[in-house]
Structure 1
Amino acid sequence: MPFTIAIIGRPNVGKSTLFNRLVGQKLALVDDVPGVTRDRREGEAKLFDLNFTIIDTAGLDEGPKGSLTARMQEQTETAIALADALFFVIDARIGLTPADRAFADVARRADKPVLLLANKSEGKHGELGAMESYALGLGDPIQISAEHGEGMGELYDAVSKLVPPTDDEEDEHEETDEERANRPIRVAIVGRPNAGKSTLINHLLGEERLLTSPEAGTTRDSIAVEIEWKGRGFRIFDTAGLRRRSRIEEKLEKLSVADALRAVRFAEVVVLMMDAQNRFEEQDLRIADLIEREGRALVIAVNKWDLMDGNPGQISMLRRDADHWLPQVAGAPIVAVSGLMGEGIDRLMQAIVEAYAVWNRRVPTAALNRWFEGAIADNPPPAVSGRRLKLNYITQTKARPPSFVLFCSRADAIPQSYLRYLTNSMRETFELPGTPVRITLREKANPFAHKRKRPN
Structure 2
Amino acid sequence: MGHPRRMSSAPGCPPSVPPEMSVTDPVVVLMGAPNVGKSTLFNRLRGGRRALVHPQPGMTRDRLSRPAIIEERRVLLVDTGGVIHGSGDAMSALIRDQSHEALVEADVVVLVVDGRAGCSGTDRDLSRLIHRRGLPVIVAVNKLDTERLEIHTSEFHELGLEPVLSVSAAHGLGLQELRKQIAACLPAPLTAAREEAPELSLALIGRPNVGKSSLLNRLVNEERVIVSDQPGTTRDSIDTLLHAHQRTFRLVDTAGLRRRESAADTAESLAIAQARHALARAQIAVLVMDAQAGVTVGDLAVAGEAMDAGRAVIPVLNKWDLLTGGEDEARALLEEVDNRLSFLPYSRPLTVSALTGLRVRNLLKEALLSEEEFMAIRPTAAWNRALQSAMKERRTPLVENRPYRIRYAVQTGTGPPRVTLFVNRQTPLPPPYMRFLAGRLRLALDLTRTPIRLHLKLRQAERKRRRSADA
TM-score (norm 2): 0.56
Other-structure match for 1:263: 278
Alignment match, 1:273: 288
1:419 and 2:467 matched: no
Give the aligned residue type for 2:216. Answer: I
Task: Give the Å deviation of 1:450.
Answer: 4.4
**CA distance in 2 between partners of 1:219 and 1:177 (Å):** 36
Cα deviation for residue 346 of structure 1 reads 1.8
Distance 1:380 1:190 in 2: 39
Q: Relative to 1, partners in 2 of residues 1:318 and 1:410: Cα closer, same or farther, differing over 3 Å?
A: farther
Identify if the C-alpha distance between structure 1 residues 316 and 224 changes in structure 2 by more than 3 Å, giving closer, same or farther. Answer: same
Give the 5 Å matches for 1:56-455. 180=195, 183-309=198-324, 311-312=326-327, 317-444=332-459, 445-446=461-462, 447-451=464-468
Residue range with higher mean Cα deviation, 419-428 or 311-320: 311-320
Write the deviation string for residues 355-409 of structure 1: whole angstroms up to 9, x where unpaired. 1111011111111111111211221112234422111111110110011111112
Q: Give 1:182 deviation, angstroms.
A: 7.0
- The structure-2 alpha-carbon separation of the partners of 1:415 and 1:395, relative to structure 1 and needing over 3 Å to count, comes to same
**Residue segments in structure 1 that go unaligned for 5+ positions in a row:** 1-175
Does the 8 Å contact 1:224/1:238 carry over to 2?
A: yes
Q: Deviations over 1:221-244 (max 9, x none)?
A: 111111122222111111111112
Q: Distance in 1 between matches of 2:224 and 2:467?
A: 67
User: How far apart in 2 are the matches of 1:323 and 1:239?
Assistant: 25
Q: In the TM superposition, what is the alpha-carbon distance from 1:325 to its structure 2 partner?
A: 2.0
Distance in 2 between residues matched to 1:413 and 1:401, nearest whole Å = 21
Contact 1:329 1:435 in 2 (8 A): no
CA drift of 1:190 comes to 0.8
2:395 match: secondary structure: coil
1:258-289 alpha-carbon deviations (Å, 9 max, x no partner)? 22221121111110000001122111111111
Deviation at 1:426, TM superposition (A): 1.1
Please tell me whether the aligned partners of residues 329 and 433 of structure 1 are also in contact (alpha carbons under 8 angstroms).
Answer: no
Contact conserved, 1:191 with 1:241, CA < 8 A, in 2?
Answer: yes
Per the TM alignment, residue 334 of structure 1 is displaced from its structure 2 partner at its CA by 0.8
Equivalent-residue separation in structure 2 for 1:413 and 1:257 (angstroms): 32
Partner of 2:123: none
User: In 2, distance between residues paired with 1:177 and 1:428?
Assistant: 23
Q: 1:314 to 1:346 in 2, by over 3 A?
A: farther
Q: How much has 1:317 moved relative to structure 2?
A: 4.3
> Post-superposition shift, 1:310?
5.6
Contact 1:323–1:331, Cα closer than 8 Å, also in 2: no
| Letter of the structure 1 residue corresponding to residue 207 of structure 2 | R
Return the letter of the residue paired with 1:209: R
Secondary structure of 1:258's partner? helix
Instruction: Read off the aligned partner of 2:281 and give its amino acid letter.
Output: F
> 1:182·1:232 contact (CA, 8 Å) conserved in 2?
no
In structure 2, relative to structure 1, the CA distance for the partners of 1:450 and 1:339 (3 Å cut) is closer
Quickly say closer, same or farther: Cα 1:384–1:295, change in 2 above 3 A: closer
User: Given that residues 189 and 238 in structure 1 are in contact (C-alpha distance below 8 angstroms), is that contact kept between their aligned partners in structure 2?
Assistant: yes
Deviation per CA, 1:279-309: give whole Å up to 9, x if none: 2211111111111111211111000000012
Identity over the aligned pairs, expressed in percent?
34
Separation of aligned partners in 2, 1:305 and 1:382 = 45
Distance change (3 Å), C-alpha of 1:366 and 1:352: same
Structure 1 residues 171-213: Cα deviation after superposition (integer angstroms, max 9, x where no partner): xxxxx97994672211110100000011111111112222111
CA–CA separation in structure 2 for the residues paired with 1:367 and 1:453: 36
The alignment covers a number of residue pairs equal to: 279
C-alpha distance in 2, partners of 1:242/1:178? Answer: 31
Stretches of structure 2 lacking an aligned partner (at least 5 in a row) = 1-190
- Offset from partner CA, 1:38-91 (integer Å, 9 cap, x none): xxxxxxxxxxxxxxxxxxxxxxxxxxxxxxxxxxxxxxxxxxxxxxxxxxxxxx
Secondary structure of the 1:194 match is coil
- Cα distance between partner residues in 2 of 1:439 and 1:182: 23
Asked if structure 2 preserves the Cα contact closer than 8 Å seen for 1:318 and 1:334, the reply is: no
Counterpart CA distance in 2 for 1:250 and 1:182 is 37
What TM-score results when the alignment is normalised by the length of structure 1? 0.57
